[in-house]
Amino acid sequence: DAKTTQPTSMDCAEGRAANLPCNHSTISGNEYVYWYRQIHSQGPQYIIHGLKNNETNEMASLIITEDRKSSTLILPHATLRDTAVYYCIVRRSQGNLIFGKGTKLSVKP
């Protein structure tokens, strides 16, 4: 599975949009981009995934560049409860999840 690169940490003001970048320059055509987050000491929580097109659900939006070498997870109105480690993962349809170190997002009042 392709490796991903994420910033170690980011800050975001409460109520503002949080934009979390991810680079996956070696992604293959059959690999999907998945985002999970983990709030301290809890199990990871699935957020969203996509292949080529931008995706949106009740939690977030996923923007994937046309060349698929990078993506951005957008939390439109961050709250204090969104403080967590966010993982960007690239995987095949049946592949297991390979977690990197993720981005520690701190939402501040």
Partner 1 sequence: KAGVTQTPRYLIKTRGQQVTLSCSPISGHRSVSWYQQTPGQGLQFLFEYFSETQRNKGNFPGRFSGRQFSNSRSEMNVSTLELGDSALYLCASSSGGTSGTYEQYFGPGTRLTVT
Which residues contact partner 1 by CB under 8 A? 32, 34, 41-46, 49, 87, 93-101
What is the rounded distance in angstroms from the CA atom of residue 38 to the CA atom of residue 55? 21
CB of 69 to partner 1, least distance (A): 20
Distance CA 104, CA 97 (A): 19
For partner 1, the closer CB: 96 or 109: 96
The number of beta carbons lying within 10 Å of the beta carbon of residue 4 is 24
Nearer to partner 1, 14 or 55 (CB): 55
SS3 label, residue 82: helix
Min dist CB 97 to partner 1, Å, is: 6
Identify which of residues 14 and 59 has a Cβ nearer to partner 1 in the complex: 59
Token pair in block for residue 107: 């939402």
Separation of alpha carbons 83 and 8, rounded Å:
14
Tell the smallest beta-carbon distance from residue 73 to partner 1 (Å): 15
